[in-house]
């Protein structure tokens, strides 16, 4: 066999085995396009469709790692949530009970004050009827006496000639309070004809009415009499053992001090507009 023929035949075979260029170029283009598409997806982010397409791969990886839905952390026990709900409900119940108790306490205080006011009004009506009857049977002298009574009463002296009757009280008052009331009604004209309120278990100040160390001088609309009772206590502060005085929504805590305005308690009686409240030591 000729060497030239053999080499020539091998060259022709190798030439035949090489794919023509038009066949290889589309594959190259496809590879470049795929790489470009991959770069674009990385730059602009993967859309929902691509994410959905990756889901099976994620599931497969989880399956290979032995992670299943059962191996995920369990949800928080519902018992803890139930206990939290019970605590919230218990707190709401306690707050509601406290609010109801406060409202009941205020209602009880107001009821006692209203009772005192009613008793004072009844006593004032009786006194007014008696005064009217006496005035009708008097002559010119009684008319002059009525004119002088209209002026503001002037308290004088410390002699005790009368015993104060605490007609609106839920229990006995302290001896020093009774002695102070006796001195006041004995020396302040008109003070012996008004209602005096004493012990009240429903009062909110434990060292006041509940302890028997406070009195209410129910002067109602007689401001002149109320001022006279206040002034007598100021003039004899230490002698009567006064701790503080409340009148017309103001409080005085020392004989040489200044009056301080108090908060609005909702009614004339609660604001001490119709009575003088005195706390004794």
Per-residue pLDDT of the chain (281 residues; tens, 9 = 90+): 555 555 555 555 554 555 555 545 666 666 666 666 665 554 455 544 444 444 444 455 556 556 555 554 555 567 777 777 778 878 888 888 888 888 888 888 888 888 888 888 888 888 788 777 777 766 555 554 444 444 455 555 889 999 999 988 888 999 999 999 999 999 999 999 999 999 988 767 888 999 999 999 999 999 999 999 999 999 999 999 999 999 999 999 999 999 999 999 999 999 999 999 999 99
Q: Residue 49 and residue 60: Cα distance in Å, rounded?
A: 18
Region of residue 251 (phi > 0: left; psi between -120 and 50: alpha; otherwise: beta): beta
Per-residue confidence (pLDDT) for residue 38, from 0 to 100: 62
- The residue ranges of every structural domain in the chain are 103-131+156-280
Q: Residue 184 and residue 268: Cα distance in Å, rounded?
A: 24
Per-residue confidence (pLDDT) for residue 55, from 0 to 100: 45
Q: Residue 200 and residue 186: Cα distance in Å, rounded?
A: 25
């Amino acid at each position: 066999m000729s060497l030239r023929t053999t080499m020539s035949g091998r060259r022709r075979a190798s030439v035949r085995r090489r794919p023509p260029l038009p066949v290889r170029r589309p594959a190259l283009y496809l590879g470049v396009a795929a790489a470009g598409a991959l770069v674009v997806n990385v730059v602009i982010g993967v859309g929902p469709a691509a994410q959905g397409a990756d889901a099976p791969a994620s599931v497969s990886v989880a399956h290979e790692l032995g992670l299943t839905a059962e191996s995920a952390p369990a949800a928080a026990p519902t018992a803890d949530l139930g206990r939290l709900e019970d605590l919230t409900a218990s707190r709401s119940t306690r707050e509601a009970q406290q609010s109801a108790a406060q409202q009941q306490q205020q209602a009880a205080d107001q009821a006692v004050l209203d009772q005192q006011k009613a008793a004072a009004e009844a006593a004032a009506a009786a006194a007014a009827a008696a005064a009217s009857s006496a005035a009708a049977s008097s002559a010119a002298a009684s008319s002059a006496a009525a004119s002088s009574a209209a002026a503001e009463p002037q308290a004088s002296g410390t002699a005790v000639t009368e015993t104060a009757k605490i007609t609106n009280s839920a229990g006995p008052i302290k001896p020093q309070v009774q002695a102070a009331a006796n001195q006041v009604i004995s020396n302040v004209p008109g003070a012996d004809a008004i209602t005096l309120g004493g012990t009240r278990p429903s009062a909110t100040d434990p060292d006041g009415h509940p302890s028997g160390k406070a009195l209410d001088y129910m002067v109602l609309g007689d401001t002149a009499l109320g001022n006279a009772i206040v002034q007598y206590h100021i003039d004899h502060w230490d002698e009567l053992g006064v701790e503080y005085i409340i009148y017309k929504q103001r409080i005085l805590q020392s004989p040489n001090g200044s009056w301080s305005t108090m908060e609005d308690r909702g009614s004339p009686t609660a604001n001490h507009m119709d009575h003088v409240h005195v706390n004794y030591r």
